Amino acid sequence: MSQMSDFTSSLSQRLRHKYRTAPVPSTKMPRGIPYIIGNEAAERFSFYGMKGILVIFMTSYLFMLPGAIGNEPMPESKAIENYHFFTTAVYFTPIFGALIADILLGKYLTIISLSIVYCAGHGVLALMGVNDGVNPGLMLFLGLGLISIGSGGIKPCVSAHVGDQFGATNGHLVSKVFGWFYFAINTGAFLSTLMTPWFLEWYGPHLAFGIPGVLMVIATIVFWMGRKVFIHVPPGGLKWFKETFSWRGISAILKLSVIYIFVAVFWALFDQTGSSWVLQAENLDRNWLGVEWLSSQIQAVNPIMILILIPLFSFLIYPAVNRVFKLTPIRKISIGLFIMVIGFSMVALLQESIDSGLRPSIGWQIAAYAILTASEVMVSITCLEFSYTQAPRTMKSIIMAIFLVSVSLGNVFTAVVNHVIQVDSNASPAKQLAASFGKDHVSGEHADRDRAGDAANAKMNYEELPDGGFALKLAGVDGVLGSEDDIRLGFAPEGDMSGFVQDEANAIKQGIDRIGAYWETNHRLPTVDQGTEFVEQLKDPWGQSLRYQLKSDKLFIVTSDGPDKIWQSQYDIRAEVDVTSLTRVEQDKADAASEGGDWLAWSHPEQTWLERRQAELDADEAARSQSDDASTDPDETPPGTFTTNIRWDVGGATTMTGASYFWFFTWLMLGTAIVFVPVGCLYRPQTYLQEEAE
């Protein structure tokens, strides 16, 4: 303790010698604000640019990179879970950043130090897939871990650093500057969520993750340039402990924590704009304002609306409401929670249309964004400013960190929900083993591997198939390998699962054929009732009727309850069918779009990165098989012909999908908003601002 006290005392003396440690009386804007705002805009570009493409990257790109383990995309619920656990870490680590800033280093040194860690995380993400020998999945989690430490660690310090620049004389400008601060955040977010999805689409992950890294380097340099004009509040040291664990400190933390519990539910919903909303946009008609938008780009609607609504609320709506009744911060938050209910209800209704096989316009989701953004203005900005004013002088960073923990709590709740609704896949271990066999086949090293021995170690049986592929036998419900209920999975030589070797999936294949016949006649998938009628007449080997689920206008699932005869268990035999063919109407739209021209066509290759990567993999396979027909040109398939990609699985279902998922969170938000009303009425705030220098 004495060493810590000596360190902080020495640091405080050096800060007082080199920099101002308290604001001087002034009615003007502090000189350090432009550097903080510039840093925030660039840092937010880097963060939201990287974060905005994460879900699409995990579900569509990660498995395509060199060195990836597995030949199948990450399931959507798993990607959402990973996304929200990452966001949880980003908003939980501020506690540690605040402790370092308030006790040891002060805000400036903490921000500069952790910004370097932040830059390193971006660098790791940009290097994913550069080498076949390094699993890009591991690099993804390493990079996200570094970013969560860097980004999370500086979060409470940057926002508290803004408030440190003000004293009582110019304290009336705090609200305006926090508006600018949020404006900078959303300017960076708007530009990055438009640009990085575009770079990912056309130039791939290296550039899409690399550009945000460059912006983070710029952010660090800009902040360093402002060091001589900042107010450097010294770390509190032992004084910080005494004040924090005094009655005043504990009272401030406990009082604000009550508010943060309710705000956490707001974040559980709001942060899904980067996960479940993006995946929903994949199934919407994204041609809006004459532009075909990428699903990740729709997130840019939120920051641009923030830029519009901040001045609208500040100069028009709030003054108008104040003429009717006093609009306190607590009342703003309460109203914002109810507005969130309306926004999420709209998305749930939109999902109901998707579940029925329709493809609604993205305009409906954009309308929901408008409602959601109004809620954000009333909840997030208000809570940010309110948190600073309610924190004692040496507790600004720790209070900001506790505010950010509310974001973490909301995201961990969403992540846990998505984890709970996932049914374990019994086929997953076999698929991973098969993928490793496939890599040996590609490299020509399969002759040297004891596949049967590796399968036995994994509690499976291995056998060669006449077509050159292989099968892996799994234990059935009884858990005993070699009994009658064993399940045999078939794999192509490259390790892709091709189906089932025995008769487990024969009825499912018949059901898919019936759905296909309906498609070719009606140019759409059957409704849930129609599809159920087609497949329920078919029986699986265990005497149970098949089930049909319509996920979107191009995706459906045909399921057998499996040997345990229990739906949505880990023994379900599932075929997730993605219809790849175009109807004649869709083909006509595609032709019209190509004739209309892409105004950015000059700036990107003719094919997307995924198309080029797939062509590269197909060419490698063609060279190995010495065959010219290893790949199929999709243009050779006449419009209206039923063509599919089938993802086979044993288990792996999601128990809460579609509209029911969104309605769950909507009702949760409504209950939270109602309970907050009496809590807000009983809350009594107390305001603290910085003391000015003599």
pTM of the shown model: 0.90
How would DSSP label each residue in 396-439?
A: HHHHHHHHHHHHHHHHHHHHHHHHHTBPPBTTHHHHHHHHHHHH
Residue 338 above 70 pLDDT?
A: yes
Please report the pLDDT score of residue 106 as a whole number: 82
Residue 401 above 80 pLDDT?
A: no
Q: Is 265 exposed, middle or buried (0-12, 13-18, 19+ CB in 10 A)?
A: buried
Percent of the chain clearing pLDDT 90 (strictly above): 54
Confidence grade of residue 628 (pLDDT, cut at 50, 70, 90)? very low
Please report the pLDDT score of residue 638 as a whole number: 64
Strand partners for 654: 422
Q: Which whole-number Å values give the CA distances from 300 to 239, 270, 289, 359, 488, in the listed order?
A: 44, 14, 14, 21, 46
Confidence grade of residue 396 (pLDDT, cut at 50, 70, 90)? low
The tokens describing 560, both together, are 């057998």
Please report the pLDDT score of residue 5 as a whole number: 56
Please report the pLDDT score of residue 12 as a whole number: 52
Lowest mean pLDDT among 289-298, 321-330, 638-647: 638-647
Which CATH number applies to 31-422+662-682: 1.20.1250.20, 3.30.365.10, 1.10.3720.10, 3.90.1170.50? 1.20.1250.20
Length of the chain (residues) = 694
Lowest mean pLDDT among 45-49, 226-230, 545-549, 555-559: 226-230
Q: What is the pLDDT of residues 643-672, one digit of tens each?
A: 999 999 999 999 999 999 999 999 999 999
**3-class state of residue 644 by DSSP:** strand
Question: Residue 482: what are its φ and ψ, rounded to 5°?
Answer: 105, 0
Please report the pLDDT score of residue 630 as a whole number: 43
Q: How far apart are CA 16 and CA 22, in angstroms?
A: 9
The tokens describing 156, both together, are 């409470």
Among 23-37, 331-345, 454-468, the range of highest mean pLDDT: 331-345
Q: What is the pLDDT of residues 171-213, one digit of tens each?
A: 667 777 777 777 788 788 899 999 999 999 999 999 999 999 9
Residue 160 above 90 pLDDT?
A: no
Mean pLDDT for 34-52 is 92
Please report, for the chain, the start and end positions of each structural domain, with discontinuous segments joined by +.
31-422+662-682, 428-500, 506-650
